[in-house]
A and B are shown apart, each in its own frame.
Chain A
């Protein structure tokens, strides 16, 4: 059962290795002689004008939260993809299950239409 995830584990480990090894190698092999000029931030040769961490527009937040909502919707539909065939094969309740999912989708689609109409997806 879990053995089928072994490649995933190996993949993760290899991925980690790819991330970490070059940095470590760079540290070990490359010359490393820092001084204050090298380490200070610069902006096109000038002193930095402002903080690098600028504030994000609140609009990104709206996009992100709408993304989360539809992401969750996908999470609810995920099991449907795996079992719907079984319901069809069993011949029982297939329409009920289909209807249930369609109602679920309809609610969120109406939400989507309304937010679109209200301009939540426009950027101006």
Chain B
């Protein structure tokens, strides 16, 4: 990376972090955030309600991402959503279950459960096996997660993470069990597959906006606002660049 690129990158990250922190201050959040309606989120909320009433449970699949790889952001967003779902499902008889294809993410999912579900001890968590490691390779992970989808009275499968085309197997099995299937991924292949295989796919950055829809933390709504702001900055910059190049200035 050239010094100019490094300086620009650092500047961008600092501005991004600064704006998120500023917009999460109480005085900047007097009004509740205006979020556009996403059908998938409404269905997820309904499914969480069903877990309390019908005694079913929610399965959150966190994919195969390695925490040390650049494609871990979807798994981090998945962990955030897992925390929100676990908090909302406090009253449910059957607590949510998470599967992942990476050891570090599996350990973190167990940590999230332990932290979110009040009164649950490490021994209970071990016994209930809520944060599962389902397989070491993408396909073996899919097979392990399928056994959860088919056997654990799942009413909704939330597929959030880094996948390949094997996510089609998860989607198909979820549909066969007549469970709600909600999918989002940072992988383009998985996004295309999920568009066909899930009831309600989330496209692109919608995955990272989910915590703002499910939770009440100010920082989540602040990060959605800043995400949108920078998206418009990028769009305008790219359009301006294209016009300037066309006119011969670049």
* Chain B associates with chain A: no
